[in-house]
Amino acid sequence: MMTNVHRIDTNLTLDVGCRSSSASAAEEWQSFKILFHDFADLPSGVDQCTRLSEFSCNGHRWSIKLYPGGKRASRTGCLSLYLELCSGGYATAAFEVSILDKFQSVKHTKKLMDYDFDDSTNWGWKDHCLRSYILNQSENILDDNGTLAIVVSINRKNDSAFPFVPINPTFVPSNPMSSLITSMLLDEETSDVCFEVGTADVYDVDEAASSPVTFHAHRLILKKCAPMLASLFGSYDEEIVAASITDVKPAVFRHMLHYVYGGSVPGKEMNAHAKDIINAADKYSIVNLKLEAEAAYVNSTKITMDNAMDNLLYADALNLALLKEVVMDFLAENSEEVTENMSFADVPGHVMKDLLVAFSRTKKTKQDNQGDNNNFTIMRVNELRMKLDEKGLNGAMQMKMMMTRWRSEMADRILG
């Protein structure tokens, strides 16, 4: 529900499809009521956006982007909603979005705290709520004219908390140290170890070679950033200078080693090789790379009745909490069809508990997300990861925490 510091003034109403009006300031939060007229008739295809005219708050111009049919990565039937910074520069904002019913009571609220915006970053929810929930007449959300009313509230705090940065700020070169370390990768002159990666009979034709591909590296960097790779060379006293890698494609290994040296995997390459990168990062415990590749795989994969079970077993085998959550949500949302057409004979027993968690989370969403917001057992993976990151816990500990059977006990101890 909306906190007491929010003041919703009927004079602060923005209309989509009809009229618009300006807003004035409140004390700590500034709230804007937005009316989406004829909500049921708004474009509802995947990635089809209805964008609100800009409004001003904290010296910046903002807009709301609504996707009635959701984004490509959204759960089936969910709408997506994002806050967009339109004025250029940078801003930090806490904000929340509340859906009102036709009696002007708050039905559904979500909040994000202290997120950094720039002209290329939007923040919000790809699964804000079910579109069918809004259209359901028994919920009394749409008024008699089919208008959806939402309230967007942005935390004003004070001017110093939201400094305005001009579109063309003073240029200062970035710290070059990270790029210098990255440039050391494959430097044969300074390297003291090397990997021989791949054989001709286990890879795709276009990657086959008569001999393995050599990657030069530095034992000290590997020891600090990728201990399992460093262990292939033994101790410093053993003076092993070459290690053979036969279960990873050279292209994938190059991405992994580049990441270890502080680089990143380009988005297109990450999407193309996501599963191979997950497997390699899992085998050699490059945890953060595994998390990034898992996110890329989730965002580029549509879960269907045909692939749900394979993805579920894969996610469970490699402890991919985000992928497992997406599959579980799909199963929960399509429970009747799943019951009729899918066999769970090969599913490990502990996964059934995870499925019950997904059903509980779906039920909680349909009950307007009211109740205990600190129920770590059913908390969303992204939300729990953000809480753990705020506590300074690394990717390995986060992976452990994502296992449902660990969540309640460990979260209470760490976050409580």
Q: Over the chain (416 residues), what is each successive 10-residue block's mean pLDDT?
A: 34 48 52 89 90 79 90 89 84 87 89 79 88 92 91 68 50 79 88 84 49 90 93 78 91 94 92 95 94 93 91 91 88 84 79 71 52 57 75 57 46 43
Query: For residues 111 and 388, what is the distance between their CA atoms, to the nearest angstrom?
Result: 18
> What's the confidence (pLDDT) of residue 23?
39
Gyration radius from the chain CA atoms: 25
> What's the confidence (pLDDT) of residue 54?
82
Q: Counting every residue, how long is the chain?
A: 416
Spatial CA neighbour of 134 closest among 170, 166, 161, 98: 98
> What's the confidence (pLDDT) of residue 52?
79
Whose tokens are 């415990």? That residue is 285
Residue 177 φ then ψ, to 5°: -60, -40
> What's the confidence (pLDDT) of residue 13?
54
> What's the confidence (pLDDT) of residue 1?
33
Provide the Cα torsion 401, 405, 410, 411; round to 10°.
70
> What's the confidence (pLDDT) of residue 122?
82
> What's the confidence (pLDDT) of residue 408?
46
> What's the confidence (pLDDT) of residue 375?
55
CA atoms within 13 A on the CB side of 110: 16
